[in-house]
């Protein structure tokens, strides 16, 4: 078994980039990537939701309580009780 070693005397070793230079390039690339991703996202411009009246809020909580009646009757009872207290407090 034998090995061959070759030396290159005519080529200068490559100078490694400075850390600061590499960080600047990374920062610039990250900034460009972020801008490109942001540009592809759909712009969401929806109208603000209308505020519900107190009666509508109570009705929605009653609907929610009804949806839990079969799976978690204790939680549904708590929701119904909370709606009752809310309606009494606001004289609905």
Please calculate the CA angle 75-77-80 and round it to the nearest 5 degrees.
110
Residues near 85 by Cβ (< 8 Å), separated by ≥ 6? none
Domain range for 77: 54-89
In tens, the pLDDT along 3-62 reads 776 666 666 666 766 888 888 899 999 999 999 998 888 877 776 778 889 999 999 999
Averaged pLDDT, 54-82? 95
Using CA atoms, how far apart are residues 5 and 71, in angstroms rounded to an integer?
77
Distance, first Cα to last Cα, the chain: 98
Residue 64 scores a pLDDT above 90: yes
Residue 25 belongs to a domain: no
Residue 23 belongs to a domain: no
Residue 31 belongs to a domain: no
Q: How many domains does the chain have?
A: 1
In the prediction, which pLDDT does 57 show? Answer: 92
Residue 83 belongs to a domain: yes
Look up residue 30 and give its two tokens. 């990250």
């Amino acid at each position: 078994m034998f090995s061959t070693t070759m030396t290159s005397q005519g080529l200068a070793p490559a100078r490694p980039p400075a850390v600061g230079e590499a960080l600047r390039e990374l920062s610039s690339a990250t900034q460009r990537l972020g801008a490109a991703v942001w540009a592809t996202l759909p712009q969401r411009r929806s109208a603000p939701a209308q505020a519900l009246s107190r009666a509508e809020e109570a009705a929605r909580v009653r609907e929610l309580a009804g949806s839990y009646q079969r799976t978690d009757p204790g939680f549904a009872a708590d929701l119904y009780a909370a709606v009752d207290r809310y309606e009494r407090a606001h004289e609905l």
